[in-house]
């Protein structure tokens, strides 16, 4: 039975739209993401819709308030979790925000990274497949499927409306 953990993943653009705010997961040794760069976000809580979840997570993790957001896509990640849990992610682009991002949070240090250089960062192996779709000019959201096993993607395909 497929009962995924619902989550958000937000990529916050810099004012010039050339960089994105990422967390370098370097604080907790028991973190399955240790050493990797990632967007900001997390699990949806009871009583939330997915946009409220994104805004809460961004406020908690970066100390800023989301302005304009755009749903760029969704991804089904069966087997992604540390114990083989299934995840379903809503991928957002945060086009502007209010406030000044903090320098770190309980998961790691926050850094602005050039979008053109993301492929050189330590990230999940599967990120290279969907990140170009997050930042491209296609106005239609993508909907992807990326099963994982032992921390590695087994397949990737997506559709767009």
Q: Which domains does the chain have, with CATH numbers?
A: 5-160 (3.90.79.10)
Confidence tier at 73 by pLDDT (50, 70, 90): very high
Token readout for 91 is 């991928």
- pLDDT tens sequence across 40-69: 999 999 999 999 999 999 999 999 999 999
**pLDDT at res. 42:** 95
Dihedral Cα 142, 33, 68, 159, nearest 10 deg: 0
Given 3-state DSSP classes, what are the helix, strand and coil percentages for the chain, each rounded to the nearest 5?
15, 35, 45
CA 152 to chain centre: 17
Average pLDDT of the residues of the chain: 94
* Lowest mean pLDDT across 21-25, 72-76, 79-83, 147-151: 79-83
**pLDDT at res. 79:** 94
Asked whether the predicted pLDDT for residue 87 surpasses 80, the reply is: yes
């Amino acid at each position: 039975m497929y009962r995924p953990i619902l989550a958000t993943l937000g990529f916050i653009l810099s004012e010039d739209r050339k960089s994105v705010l990422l967390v370098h997961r370097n604080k907790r040794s028991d973190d399955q993401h240790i050493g990797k760069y990632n967007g900001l976000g997390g699990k949806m809580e009871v009583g939330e819709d997915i946009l409220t979840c994104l805004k809460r997570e961004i406020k908690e993790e970066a100390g800023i308030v989301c302005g304009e957001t755009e749903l760029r896509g969704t991804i089904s990640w069966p087997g992604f979790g540390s114990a083989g849990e299934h995840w379903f992610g809503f991928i957002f682009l945060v086009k502007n925000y209010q406030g000044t991002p903090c320098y770190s949070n309980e998961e790691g240090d926050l850094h602005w990274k050039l979008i053109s250089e993301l492929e050189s960062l330590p990230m999940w192996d599967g990120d290279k497949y969907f990140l170009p779709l997050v930042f491209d000019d296609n106005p239609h959201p993508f909907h992807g499927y990326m099963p994982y096993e032992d921390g590695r993607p087994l397949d990737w395909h997506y559709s767009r409306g």
